Copies of this chain bind each other. A is one copy, B any other.
Amino acid sequence: MFFHVRMDVQLPPGLDAAPLLAQEKARAAELQRSGVWPGLWRVVGEYANISIFDVPTNDDLHEILSSLPLFPYMKIHVTPLATHPSKI
C-alpha cells in the first residue's frame, strides 16, 4: 500500500547533528533494502525530501516515520495513494 510522504528538516541551531545524520542515513538504507521505502528524492534547493513508502498498514507507516532519528526535527505530511486506473 503506497503513501506519498514529504519531509522538511529543520535542525535547531546548536545541535550536534553529525551523529544523528549518520543514524538517519543508516536507517534510511535499512528501510530501502527492506523494500518499504521504494522512492526517495531531494527537493531541489530545499532541505527536504519527497518519498514513496510501501507498507501494509497506517500503523506501520507511523511507526517507521516516528522512529526515524530525525523525526523530532522534521515536518512530515502524508498523502495516501491508490492504484491509478491508467497505470500499466
Residues of A whose CB lies within 8 Å of any CB of B are: 1-5, 12-13, 24-25, 28-29, 32-33, 39-47, 49-50, 52, 57-59, 61-63, 65-66, 76-88
Chain B residues lying within 8 Å of A32, measured Cβ to Cβ, are 87-88
Q: List the number of copies, as a whole number.
A: 10
Bound Cα distance from A76 to B43, whole angstroms: 10
Contact of A62 among B12, B52, B78, B82 (CB under 8 A): B82
Chain B residues lying within 8 Å of A62, measured Cβ to Cβ, are 42, 44-45, 82
Bound Cα distance from A78 to B81, whole angstroms: 10
Residue pair A49, B84 in contact (C-beta under 8 Å): yes
Residue pair B78, A61 in contact (C-beta under 8 Å): no
